[in-house]
Amino acid sequence: METENRELLVKGARVFGIALVEQHVEAFDHYLRQLLKWNEKINLTAIRSEKGIVLKHFLDSLSLFPHLPAISSLLDVGSGAGFPGIPLKMIQPSLKVILIDSVRKKIDFQKHVIRTLGLKGIEAIHGRVQDQQVLADLGGRFDAITARAFSDLEALLLLSYPLLKKGGILLAMKGEEIERLSFIEKARYRLQRSVRFYLPFSSIKRSILLFEKE
């Protein structure tokens, strides 16, 4: 990773209250290099520059950190190339993380990164949250669920409900307007807050909606 991108990672993480040490930076560097290498053969991400990956994948993932309560278990739905679940695990080793995605090749990549980084207490599962076996295995287990690429917010709320513990938090990383959330009561969630911000040192707007399971 080029020096300027290392500095962007460290300074950007600091904006979210995260103090990265050299060991963290080396781990993110490994993750970035593996992503670029695998992306030559498998379509893991449309972002192909170091800076773009640091900003739009790594720092975007770490932006959840200030909004996570004192949780011990996290489910990352539609985890793609491992975002945001793997970066959050990298900075919070005690966190138990499950990644789930319907694309086998993306799960293969996640498993490769997990293995080569030596991460423990994290698992990548091939499947969908609506699969009966997934519901049977994971139902009611999680303090928090994250989703970055789920297109239908109402469907996400309904599908994630049986997987969360009572009082658990769903963090939806998308820009839905509050006026469009009239279905919350039906989904048995309470909107805690909506957070809008810019990714560090950029003009890229982001939005996080935090829902609590009632």
**pLDDT value at 150 more than 90:** no
Q: What is the mean pLDDT of residues 154-180?
A: 82
Q: At what angle do helices 3-15 and 22-39 cross, to 10 degrees?
A: 120
**CATH code at 50?**
3.40.50.150
158 is written with which tokens? 């309904």
The pLDDT tens digits of the residues spanning 70-101 come to 899 999 999 999 999 999 999 999 999 999 99
Reported as half-sphere exposure (CB side, CA atoms, 13 A), residue 22 has a value of 0
Q: What angle do CA 24, 169, 110 make, to 5 degrees?
A: 40
pLDDT digits (tens, 9 = 90+) for 140-149: 999 999 998 7
Domain containing 43 equals 3-213
pLDDT of residue 119: 98
The SS3 of residue 104 is helix
Mean pLDDT over 141-163 rounds to 89
pLDDT single digits (tens) 190-213: 888 889 999 999 999 999 999 999
The domain total for the chain is 1
Q: Please say if the pLDDT value at position 182 is more than 80.
A: no
Task: Please write the tens of the pLDDT for every residue from 6-60.
Answer: 999 999 999 999 999 999 999 999 999 999 999 999 999 999 999 999 999 999 9
Among 65, 38, 76, smallest CA distance to 160 is for 76
| CA–CA distance, 2 with 35 (Å, rounded to integer) | 15
Which tokens hold the place of 111? Answer: 């498993």
Pairing of strands 189-198, 122-126: unpaired
Amino acid at 89: K
Q: Tell me how far apart the terminal alpha carbons of the chain are, to the nearest angstrom.
A: 44
